[in-house]
Amino acid sequence: MADHAKTAAGVLAGVGGESNVQSLVHCATRLRFVLKDEGKADAAAIRATPGVITTAQAGGQYQVVIGNDVPDVYAAIQSQTTLGGDAEGGESGAKGNLFNRFITMISSIFTPILWALAGTGLLKAFVAAAVTFGWLDATSTTYTILNALSDALINFLPLALAITAARYFKASEFTSFAVAGALVYPTITALNGQPDITFFGIPVTMVSYVSSVIPVIIIVWLQSYAERFLLKVLPGAVRRFLTPMIVVLVAVPLVFLVIGPISSLVGGGLAAGIGWVFQTLPWLGGAIMGGLWQVFVIFGLHWGLVPLFQLEYQTTGQILLLGPVFAAVLAQAAAVAGVLVRTRNKNLRSLAAPATLSGFLAGITEPAIYGINLPLKRPFAFGVVGGALGGALIAMGGVFSKAFVVPSGLALPALLGNGNMLMLGIGLLVAIAVPFVLVVVFGFTDPVDAAAPATPAVATDTVVLSPVDGTVVPLTEVPDAAFADGSLGKGVAIRPTSGAVYAPFDATVVAAFPTGHAIGLRGVDGVELLIHVGLDTVKLGGEHFTLKVQSGTEVKAGDLLVEFDGDAIEKAGYDLITPVIVTNGDLYPDVSDVASGPLSHGETLFRAISVDSLSTAR
């Protein structure tokens, strides 16, 4: 079972600690950090952390790809730090050029509602398919109820976006909710398209705000500035209730008079442009979406297209852009399925099997892309080719979706009955068959099993020598809950009396943090050890530490790993207590023969007890 606390701790240390994090949000598969100094992040150490697929830097964010467990790892980081929650996102967290800031904003606003939007969209697709195939009567009350519960979120999308936008722009959430509520209020919605609408004599061109995106984001952004101004200038006795009253009184008419009509024109123009491309050159639009969608995902640029999906749906009631994306997703899943068939590498096959399943069924392709297809190069390229060909055929068939869904095998009902179904079937078949056949026929450079880090078939007990000179203390006395309660691993702590860290056994350095405050080792017997010099010392940014090795270095017991100035570290206000813990508790669940009192480096510190040893003892 995945240890999300360990993954969270490893990722946090790898990005330079909490002090180096400006903001943190997560999307469907990634932790998205905005770091104060990306130079402090150790990509090798992060990637070596159990539960991490890979890292990427795009859109002004340092992205850590986790996969399906990302909400759990995010929650674990929240429990260990003050990151996330009210602190996530925000303009203070945005940096870089205007485009990067736009991508960050869109991902922060849409991420919290993405799965609910996709889930209810999938339900709406199933309901529509049931009506199409005659399984459900559209005049029945059953249909009315199912349609309402599947359509409510997309219908009242401005309300949801008001909350997430308020969190991002640091505005009052419930004032934003009141503004958005006015936009979709039943009597206001009924005014759409009616002539001679005025507000205090000013003509109003009323447009529909149902399912809208742009107006609420713009007005909440403006609201954030208005609130800061009003809270500063209004008397303390009245500012708390006058501020929301003034904001609502000004913001809603501003939307009706200016923002709404302009955004309606912009949205209509974009939707018309999309429609023109898919009507006149459908193969081109489909090939671009099907071929490049996964490339957009790699760089985080796909978030820039999410509002276009919604604008197209609001304007036309359908999403042409979404059909070819099914081809893109299924093509990468098919490519990794080809790897599963072709490879003779046991480790690669064990990764490819679940990656194939999650790609085809759930549309989660990050494990396939980052773990297999991209590193092997050819499978990813073949997936792009299959996605482009399949996407072109789907677009030529005029296939569209009537709901926002995450493209996957399970979400295919969203496309059924919408466009030419023969072309849809051919397009999907091509998208799956082409990359699969290309991977199987032309192959790739198959990794050799021996090149992977060796883990013995039977884990054996390992004697861990003291890596530092000092006095042994129990982990329970470490003033850090993550170490003290053993959630990061079993072991002990040492109060150093000298300034050097030595290898406690023959090992490979799997994580050498550039700050020098921590070292991760994998022993020849398979035991994995973390030596963490001091608490919160990552905040020193490498000051007072001198790293003597790097990730991948082979070391022998007694080799020098790190030098540090203990006196300077303590004078800087940091506790020098040094936890030494076993991090792969699944193979080494306990320790024994723990030393006590003073000892020198090279003397026995404890014995890491293997699970095989425990089984034999029983």
Give dist(CA 117, CA 260) in Å, integer.
23
- Reference 465, options 607, 581, 615, 578; nearest CA is 607
Whether the CB-CB separation of 318 and 402 falls below 8 Å is answered with: yes
Cα 478 off chain centre by: 32
Residue 154 in contact with residue 180, Cβ under 8 Å?
Answer: no
Q: How far is CA 333 from CA 29, 294, 321, 324, 359, in A?
A: 16, 11, 20, 15, 5
Buried b (16+ CB within 10 A) or exposed e, 192-207: eeeeeeeeeeeebebb
Distance between first and last Cα of the chain: 23
| Residues involved in catalysis | 27, 532
DSSP label of 401: B
Question: Is 512 in a helix, a strand, or coil?
Answer: strand
Phi, psi for 508 (deg, rounded to 5): -110, 135
Question: Of 369, 399, 363, nearest to 384 (Cα)?
Answer: 369
Residue 78 neighbours by CB under 8 Å, 6+ apart: 84, 85
Residue 48's alpha-carbon distances to 54, 282, 513, in angstroms, are: 9, 43, 11
Other beta carbons within 10 angstroms of residue 419's beta carbon come to 20
Compute φ and ψ for 31, nearest 5 degrees.
-85, 130
DSSP class of residue 610 equals P
Q: Would you state the structure tokens that stand for residue 101, as one six-digit string? A: 């800031």
CA angle 51, 56, 62 (to 5 degrees): 95
* β-bridge pairing 490-496 and 470-474: antiparallel
Answer for the pair 392, 286: CB distance below 8 angstroms, yes or no.
yes
d(C-alpha 8, C-alpha 4), whole Å: 6
Pairing of strands 560-564, 545-547: antiparallel
From CA 74, how far away is CA 526, in angstroms rounded? 28
